[in-house]
A and B are shown apart, each in its own frame.
Chain A
């Protein structure tokens, strides 16, 4: 048996896996080659059989590894898999495949097979061709291995698919890559209002050749129309009267109820391909999966009644393993779901994601009125001016958070704040997915609104850790959360709970509002990202686009640019500005999304 490092292609991750049959982790194949340590399941010899086993090794990105294989000098000591891969990289068209099983021993999702040498060669060449095609289609994004594998899988579905990756794994970028391969068609994204700015920004960033249309513009090949579920529900005709290339339904758990107008409006869209995306394909009931599958691939799970009888009842009521296994096999054809833990080696330990959110009409009106009122009355001078400026900034930040907070109301809360609606969607996913999540806000009043709303929405008690609690109560809440109790979401006051606690149960951190100093936010985020954390941590910062919160984000960038040096607070900077300069900083940006 060879002891040299083996080169195995992992089709589900679109990467090479270098490993040693004797155990242990081989050195990186070349100092110039990017690689990351990982553990993966391979089918390997075990006595007289070949069985799936966890194997340690290093992952090497597909393209970098392919280029290296194609230019390296073969060595007589090479393992058969490395020698074979080297020959193939030099001449991919050779008819005889010089690959031992070790070169293609990643088990298939059913766990009972491996892909053949020929199929794996096709996987490699197909993924490389896809990368070429994406470049040709003007896709400027960078896909991680699992994302490339995801796009390839999606492209291989006939008429639609359900992409159900965990939150934070990049469903949007995979959808844009799929679209970039078809610039000869007009495409449509349907999503919650709160997500439309993210789509606009991500499309501009990753697919600059794809023109994102403004309201009323006529869809043409190479364009992307973005519409909210609410608008599609109110006025389905302009969208339902034409044929689309790809229709993406983002945050599709919002339209999981087949009886709603929104579901019917989405189902009525005529498309060559329907990509349904959600991080929670099953929120409360297996019936959710049927409804989402019905949008992606109508009929694939049979009628709703039959699905209920054959899968929902056997699985949910009597825990039937045979029904669960058959459903898993059936959905494998059109559902792709990867968890954070599965792709952890490819994720950075700590990833910060900025989420721009739209203003509601009410927020826009209140924001503008607060500015007009303050500047019409005048800011005054001296201490009075200072108090006026700080009061104005606070009011604007509260309006960005939620009109109810600014107006001292207890509700209603939905559809009045872009940030709030976005947060609720994210927490629906977190509560459904079971991963722990911390939500920081600097305002106790906002924290109370959040926990009340989440409690009512999900029928759970979401704890709120704030400065008004006794130290015993704080310790109990933190201990319960860390010990796995409660719903998995914890709302915290930024100033009162942003330090000293260990809350590594959470792998998601959300900053609902922005503090001037990034160090304070970082310290809060480190409640989850610290020793003991086994998963990558994703930190989301919600930002009401086109408002004062853009300015705060800029201040953050600048301060980080100064090597996170301690600098004066942003409010102090605002106080130094003239009235005109201040108004300029605080004013609504033209084109602020709503």
Chain B
């Protein structure tokens, strides 16, 4: 049966930080946090090494942000070596990483998840309660289970090539945000030079905004 939290080795690596084996006895905060993660945490978003979510409890919304510490340059180098030798060919499941690799990585040095005390955490409603911090972390464990590569991305903000190469740019498409509504109906000027996107649009594409 699939574990609710920590169904992959990457999620379990985070879970170990939330539930260290050395902890003594039941922890009421953890029990409460699991419940909150199930029913009260929403809009979990991850950008670089920042995790944000809204936790709603007793009619009140708490906007919570966690910052995950990045690996040191040495740890990044080690991780890069291990990842490149293990991750499948480009075009595979870029969001997934093999479970074996998690153990291999931790043995080699870089820890997948930091200790709770290493996280920088804030709440929009004042001091952050431990149960709330744990709840967002449990929700993060589930997200890492869904997308194990996130565990690496959280530790390597602003480094593009740690994981397998990103999918090739979709040169046949233009994001809507790059379209200019003001020349939407107008043909490109003679000579076909519109700045920015000509290579994608064959000389007749949309104008960069």
Contact = CB atoms under 8 A, between A and B. Distances in A.
Interface of A: 1-2, 6, 21, 43-52, 79-81, 83-84, 95-102, 105, 107-108, 112-119, 121-122, 302, 306, 308-311, 313-314, 317-318, 320, 322-323, 326, 330
Contacts of A112: 175-176
B185 A326 contact: no
A346 to B, nearest CB: 25
Given A80-B185, A100-B187, 11 more contacts: A1-B185, A49-B176, A50-B176, A98-B187, A98-B204, A101-B179, A113-B174, A115-B174, A118-B172, A322-B143, A326-B95
Interface string B17-52: 000000000000000000000100000100000000
A83 to B, nearest CB: 7
B184 A322 contact: no
Contacts of A119: 172-173
Contacts of A47: 181
B95 A108 contact: no
B7 A309 contact: yes
B142 interface: yes
Interface residues of B, number: 42
A52 to B, nearest CB: 8
Interface in B134-187: 142-143, 145-147, 170-177, 179-187
Nearest to A50: B179
B202 A116 contact: yes
B38 A318 contact: yes
A314 B176 contact: no
B192 A96 contact: yes
Contact of A313 (B7, B180, B182): B7
B107 interface: no
Contacts of B203: 95-97, 118
B185 A102 contact: yes
Given A117-B204, A318-B142, A107 B181 contact: no
Interface string B51-83: 000000000000000000000000000000000
B205 A326 contact: no
B147 A43 contact: no
A96 B192 CA distance: 6
A55 to B, nearest CB: 13
A102 B183 CA distance: 9
Interface in B72-98: 93, 95-96
Contacts of B7: 309-310, 313
A39 B38 CA distance: 40
Counting from the closest, the 3 A-B pairs by CB-CB distance are A118-B202, A97-B204, A45-B181
B173 A80 contact: no
B129 interface: no
